[in-house]
Amino acid sequence: MEDWFSSAEMLPLDALTWKKYVTSLRVWLNFLETMGVEWDEAVPESVEAFKPWRIQEPGRPPTGTANAS
C-alpha cells in the first residue's frame, strides 16, 4: 500500500482525494478486521460480503462471511 500511495498516480492528487481514499481504505480494513480476515487474505467473497456489511443498520451484527477458507 505504501508504494501505491507514493506512486506517480497518487502523488499529484488533491488532498481531498487523498482523504477520500484513506477513509475508504480505513472502512475496508475495519470490515476485514471485524470479519477476522487479514488484508492480504481477502478473497472475492470478502468483497461480496462488504456491501451488505457497509449498509447494515448500526448495532446489527455483520452477516455473511468474508473469507471462504
Q: What is the pLDDT of residues 5-41, one digit of tens each?
A: 778 887 787 788 888 888 888 999 999 999 999 999 9
Q: Are 38 and 4 in contact (CB under 8 A)?
A: no
Q: Are 46 and 33 in contact (CB under 8 A)?
A: no
| pTM metric for this prediction | 0.67
Number of domains in the chain: 1
Answer whether residue 8 is part of any domain: no
Is residue 2 a part of any domain in this protein? no
List the domain range (segments joined by +) for residue 30: 13-69
In one-letter notation, the amino acid at residue 2 is: E
Tell me the three state secondary structure of residue 42: coil
Confirm whether 20 is domain-assigned: yes
Residue 4 has pLDDT above 90, yes or no: no
Q: How far apart are CA 22 and CA 29, in angstroms?
A: 10
Look at residue 31 in the predicted model and tell me its pLDDT: 92
pLDDT at 17: 82
Q: Which has the higher per-residue pLDDT, 5 or 60?
A: 5
Question: What's the Rg (C-alpha) of the chain?
Answer: 14
User: Which three cell numbers, joined as nine digits, stand for 58?
Assistant: 448500526
